[in-house]
Amino acid sequence: MTACGEVEVERWLYKDRADPTAHALAALDLRLGIVEGFWTQRAAEQASWVVTQMTPGKAEDLFERVGNMGPSKSSLDRLPKALGEHWEAQREQYEQVLREAIVVPEEARSVAVSIDGVLAPVDGGASPTEVRASAARAGRVSKGPAGYRELGCATIAFCDEQGDLISAIRFGRGPEPKKTTLKETLRADLHHILQQRPDLRLAKIADAGGDNWEYLGTLPAGPEIRFSGMFSGCVT
């Protein structure tokens, strides 16, 4: 699958016959950097961006209407999952590269750190009926939107002397107890920023969630702002 549509290419496959668990490899795919044995790099880049904006089903319809490449819903669904697995396997190295690329605006005078969570339906999770039935069997009452799980989200926002937002770094992670990985990433990025600009005034912002404030309390000292809802801004 190329950015201009499907291209059929014959290629030889190679496999280590001495290893019954070995997978067949296509030298041409490796040379060209074919992603998941199907996508050219340009096509994979376009498709992965589109499925960050809409569901795989809607993405399939979009590509059909645009008229260039025509990946199926299932292919569009598998691609981000495969990329996600690759990212997680080398997450720390990739995050370090991104961290070193952070540029603190010269006019920044404050930096605000905020962390929260948002409930979202997660594909492959238990259905609402199953969630409520499981709670009933355990003698509990199911509360909140059944079938949803909490995604972690956070921001690091830079503001000028008047408190106006200059730019922000936004973070998101899939469901994880206590948002452990998100917190580690946020802490490392903030440390890197304050090493560059120790003069920045730090503000910590979150809602009333106790776990969020336990974490924010471990960060360097600064004004604490509690409110209802997510925030992406600074203080004067």
pTM: 0.75
pLDDT value of residue 150 = 85
Structural domains counted in the chain: 2
The string of pLDDT tens digits covering residues 212-231 is: 999 999 999 998 888 765 55
CA atoms of 53 and 50, how far apart (whole Å): 5
| Domain annotation covers residue 18 | yes
Q: Does residue 162 sit in the same domain as residue 54?
A: no
Domain extent at residue 115: 97-121+150-226
Q: Does residue 79 sit in the same domain as residue 180?
A: no
Q: Does residue 69 sit in the same domain as residue 101?
A: no
The string of pLDDT tens digits covering residues 95-140 is: 999 999 999 999 999 999 999 988 877 665 556 667 677 777 877 7
pLDDT value of residue 236 = 45
Phi, psi (rounded to 5 degrees) for 154: -160, 165
pLDDT value of residue 228 = 62
pLDDT value of residue 145 = 62
- Looking up residue 164, the CATH number of its domain turns out to be 3.30.420
Q: Count Cα atoms within 13 angstroms, Cβ side, for 183.
A: 17
Lookup: tokens for 217: 């309390």
pLDDT value of residue 130 = 74
| Domain annotation covers residue 198 | yes
Within the chain, which residues score under 50 in pLDDT? Answer: 234-236
| Domain annotation covers residue 233 | no
| Domain annotation covers residue 160 | yes
Maximum distance among all Cα pairs of the chain, rounded to whole angstroms: 69
Phi, psi (rounded to 5 degrees) for 119: -80, 135
Q: Does residue 76 sit in the same domain as residue 103?
A: no
